Amino acid sequence: MVRTRQVTPAAPRDDAQVDSLRRGLEVLRLFDLRHRKLTLADIARKLDLSRPTTEKLVQTLQSQHFLQATGNDSYEPHIACLTIGRAAKKGLAVAQAARPLMRELSERFGVHVTLSARDRLHMLVVEHCVPPGRVQLGLTSGARFPMAASASGRAYLWARPQEQRSELLDMIEGEVPSGASHQLTDIHAAFRELETTGCCYLAAPVATHTASIATPVKAGSAFALAAMAVSAEVTEPVMRSQIAPVLLAMAEHIALSSEEEN
């Protein structure tokens, strides 16, 4: 199964960006499910900023209710972040189209189902369905995981236009630790599998008895769909022969439905 690729709009030029706004957004990016609270020293160190600059950025974000103080010189996201996140999620036609189909697949096969999109060199969870009686895995909306080491990330990469895919691979290669070049080999192996079947399979992305299979929602899409088995009961042959065809059909249906809504 071979999918054609589409050209996506170019990113804004660097000279069109407001530096102070960019820095403020970089502060907000530091907070996630693993880093719910950060001190001024944490923020300054992570962004390589001076203490006075960090204080001004944090005070501005605090005055606009994007951050709130929690004591001991630490801060956490505040209500304005929640408002924006809810608005963004509600406006995603693809998420609305995917939600009932993801739930159906999750319940039918007892697998986790995730809709994710790129956030730099990570994939950001947009929607996640947990099968009844299974553990949560921490993949709630807003969670992030590495693009290069996930089936979803590899499916997303494969679906990108050639120029953008090459740029992302160069960025990934620049961040690969010494001795971990096999990761790039695995990514290209996933591309070959995607060219043939439309899906890529990844064993043990989270733990020994887990496995994922993923596909882009469509060629050039910003979204990827993945099903994850969390027990040895759902074997690789089941993932490939039974779950993969359903996942591909889901992706096609979601792509058509979201286009109709737009």
The CATH number given to whatever domain includes residue 67 is: 1.10.10.10
In a domain, 7, yes or no: no
155 and 26 in a single domain? The answer is no
In a domain, 72, yes or no: yes
Which residue in 227, 231, 256, 230 sits closest to 244, CA to CA?
227
53 and 100 in a single domain? The answer is no
pLDDT value at 5 more than 60? no
In a domain, 186, yes or no: yes
> What does the pLDDT read at residue 180?
56
In a domain, 4, yes or no: no
pLDDT value at 2 more than 70? no
pLDDT value at 74 more than 90? yes
245 and 175 in a single domain? The answer is yes
Lowest mean pLDDT among 69-73, 192-196, 246-250: 69-73
Domain finish residue from 37, 53, 83: 83
* 16 Cβ neighbours under 8 A, 6+ residues apart: none
Instruction: Write the pLDDT tens digit of every residue in 204-240.
Output: 776 667 899 999 999 888 999 999 998 888 999 999 9
Would you give the DSSP letter of residue 10?
P
- Of residues 71 and 105, the one with the higher pLDDT is 105
What confidence category does residue 150 fall into, taking pLDDT thresholds of 50, 70 and 90?
very high
Instruction: Write the pLDDT tens digit of every residue in 240-254.
Output: 999 999 999 999 999
172 and 74 in a single domain? The answer is no
181 and 96 in a single domain? The answer is yes
In a domain, 8, yes or no: no
Q: What is the mean pLDDT of the chain?
A: 88
Which residue in 70, 91, 115 sits closest to 218, CA to CA?
115
In a domain, 12, yes or no: no
Distances (CA, A) of 174 to 147, 167, 245, 260: 14, 11, 35, 39
pLDDT value at 1 more than 90? no
66 and 103 in a single domain? The answer is no
What is the total count of domains within the chain? Answer: 2
Q: What are phi and psi of 203, to 5 degrees?
A: -85, 145
Where are the alpha helices (H) located in the chain, listed in sequence order? Answer: 19-29, 40-47, 51-63, 79-90, 93-109, 151-159, 162-175, 182-197, 236-238, 244-261
72 and 162 in a single domain? The answer is no
Beta pairing class for 74-77 and 211-216: unpaired
pLDDT value at 113 more than 80? yes
Domain finish residue from 27, 50, 83: 83
> What does the pLDDT read at residue 209?
75
> What does the pLDDT read at residue 3?
43
Rg (CA), the chain: 20
pLDDT value at 10 more than 50? no
231 and 103 in a single domain? The answer is yes
**Cβ atoms < 10 Å from Cβ of 14:** 8
Domain extent at residue 124? 92-261
Lowest mean pLDDT among 42-46, 134-138, 204-208: 204-208
In a domain, 5, yes or no: no
66 and 108 in a single domain? The answer is no
> What does the pLDDT read at residue 187?
95
> What does the pLDDT read at residue 262?
45
114 and 40 in a single domain? The answer is no
Please name every residue paired with 196 in a beta bridge, in sequence order, or none if there are none.
Answer: none
Q: What's the CATH code of the domain at 203? A: 3.30.450.40
d(C-alpha 117, C-alpha 115), whole Å: 7
> What does the pLDDT read at residue 186?
93
> What does the pLDDT read at residue 15?
59
> What does the pLDDT read at residue 182?
82
> What does the pLDDT read at residue 183?
85
The model's pTM is 0.83
Question: Stretch 185-211: mean pLDDT, rounded?
Answer: 90
Question: Stretch 111-125: mean pLDDT, rounded?
Answer: 95
51 and 108 in a single domain? The answer is no
Domain finish residue from 83, 118, 135: 83
> What does the pLDDT read at residue 90?
79
In a domain, 2, yes or no: no
163 and 112 in a single domain? The answer is yes
Strand arrangement, sheet containing 112-119: 144-146, 122-129, 112-119, 223-229, 211-216, 200-203
> What does the pLDDT read at residue 140?
86
C-alpha torsion 47→53→56→58, nearest 10 = 20
The tally of CA atoms less than 13 A away on the side-chain side of residue 130 is 10
pLDDT value at 128 more than 70? yes
